[in-house]
Amino acid sequence: MSAPHAVTANDLAYQAVDELVLTYTVLVQGAVRDAVTGGPLHARVAASADHPEALAKGFEGSLWCVAGYVEQVFPHCPPALRSLFPRRDTGTPGSA
Protein backbone atom coordinates (compact mmCIF):
# COMPACT_ATOMS: atom_id res chain seq x y z
CA MET A 1 0.00 0.00 0.00
CA SER A 2 1.30 3.44 -0.85
CA ALA A 3 1.57 6.39 1.52
CA PRO A 4 -1.33 8.88 1.79
CA HIS A 5 -1.11 11.98 -0.36
CA ALA A 6 -3.17 15.17 -0.70
CA VAL A 7 -5.76 15.52 -3.48
CA THR A 8 -7.72 18.70 -4.19
CA ALA A 9 -11.09 18.64 -5.97
CA ASN A 10 -13.67 21.44 -6.14
CA ASP A 11 -11.67 23.51 -3.66
CA LEU A 12 -11.73 20.69 -1.09
CA ALA A 13 -8.60 18.85 0.10
CA TYR A 14 -8.65 15.08 0.67
CA GLN A 15 -6.16 12.49 1.90
CA ALA A 16 -5.99 9.69 -0.68
CA VAL A 17 -4.27 6.32 -0.75
CA ASP A 18 -3.69 4.60 -4.08
CA GLU A 19 -4.33 0.87 -4.44
CA LEU A 20 -6.06 0.41 -1.09
CA VAL A 21 -7.26 -3.18 -0.85
CA LEU A 22 -9.84 -4.11 1.78
CA THR A 23 -10.22 -7.82 2.51
CA TYR A 24 -13.28 -8.93 4.43
CA THR A 25 -13.92 -12.34 5.96
CA VAL A 26 -17.10 -14.19 5.01
CA LEU A 27 -18.83 -14.69 8.36
CA VAL A 28 -21.83 -16.68 7.13
CA GLN A 29 -23.08 -17.78 3.73
CA GLY A 30 -26.01 -19.71 2.38
CA ALA A 31 -28.57 -20.30 -0.33
CA VAL A 32 -32.33 -19.86 -0.42
CA ARG A 33 -34.07 -23.03 -1.58
CA ASP A 34 -37.51 -23.60 -3.09
CA ALA A 35 -39.71 -25.25 -0.44
CA VAL A 36 -41.39 -27.51 -3.02
CA THR A 37 -38.54 -28.62 -5.27
CA GLY A 38 -35.60 -28.17 -2.90
CA GLY A 39 -33.68 -26.50 -5.70
CA PRO A 40 -32.24 -23.00 -5.77
CA LEU A 41 -34.44 -20.05 -6.65
CA HIS A 42 -33.75 -18.56 -10.04
CA ALA A 43 -33.57 -15.01 -8.76
CA ARG A 44 -31.20 -12.61 -7.10
CA VAL A 45 -31.56 -12.67 -3.31
CA ALA A 46 -31.81 -9.44 -1.33
CA ALA A 47 -29.69 -9.61 1.83
CA SER A 48 -29.14 -7.12 4.64
CA ALA A 49 -27.32 -6.95 7.96
CA ASP A 50 -28.32 -4.88 10.99
CA HIS A 51 -24.78 -4.64 12.38
CA PRO A 52 -23.05 -1.44 11.17
CA GLU A 53 -19.72 -3.26 10.62
CA ALA A 54 -21.22 -6.17 8.63
CA LEU A 55 -21.79 -6.18 4.87
CA ALA A 56 -24.49 -8.35 3.31
CA LYS A 57 -24.81 -9.25 -0.34
CA GLY A 58 -27.19 -11.33 -2.41
CA PHE A 59 -26.21 -13.06 -5.64
CA GLU A 60 -27.84 -14.71 -8.63
CA GLY A 61 -28.83 -18.30 -8.04
CA SER A 62 -30.22 -17.56 -4.54
CA LEU A 63 -26.80 -17.30 -2.86
CA TRP A 64 -26.08 -14.78 -0.07
CA CYS A 65 -23.35 -13.91 2.41
CA VAL A 66 -22.53 -11.62 5.32
CA ALA A 67 -18.92 -10.42 5.56
CA GLY A 68 -16.82 -8.10 7.69
CA TYR A 69 -13.89 -7.96 10.06
CA VAL A 70 -14.38 -10.62 12.76
CA GLU A 71 -12.95 -8.44 15.54
CA GLN A 72 -15.35 -5.59 14.67
CA VAL A 73 -18.51 -7.64 14.18
CA PHE A 74 -17.81 -9.90 17.18
CA PRO A 75 -15.74 -7.67 19.53
CA HIS A 76 -16.30 -9.90 22.58
CA CYS A 77 -15.44 -13.13 20.75
CA PRO A 78 -12.39 -14.82 22.33
CA PRO A 79 -9.31 -14.88 20.06
CA ALA A 80 -9.37 -18.69 20.01
CA LEU A 81 -12.83 -18.66 18.40
CA ARG A 82 -11.85 -15.95 15.90
CA SER A 83 -9.39 -18.42 14.40
CA LEU A 84 -12.37 -20.45 13.11
CA PHE A 85 -12.96 -17.81 10.42
CA PRO A 86 -10.45 -18.37 7.59
CA ARG A 87 -8.82 -15.21 6.26
CA ARG A 88 -9.20 -14.71 2.52
CA ASP A 89 -5.89 -12.89 2.12
CA THR A 90 -3.74 -15.76 3.40
CA GLY A 91 -6.01 -18.79 3.26
CA THR A 92 -5.01 -19.59 6.83
CA PRO A 93 -7.06 -19.25 10.00
CA GLY A 94 -7.16 -15.67 11.25
CA SER A 95 -6.22 -14.36 14.64
CA ALA A 96 -6.83 -11.15 16.52
- pLDDT tens, residue by residue, 15-70: 888 776 778 888 989 999 988 998 888 888 889 999 999 999 998 888 999 999 88
pTM of the model: 0.62
Q: What are phi and psi of 14, to 5 degrees?
A: -130, 155
Mean of pLDDT values over 67-96: 71
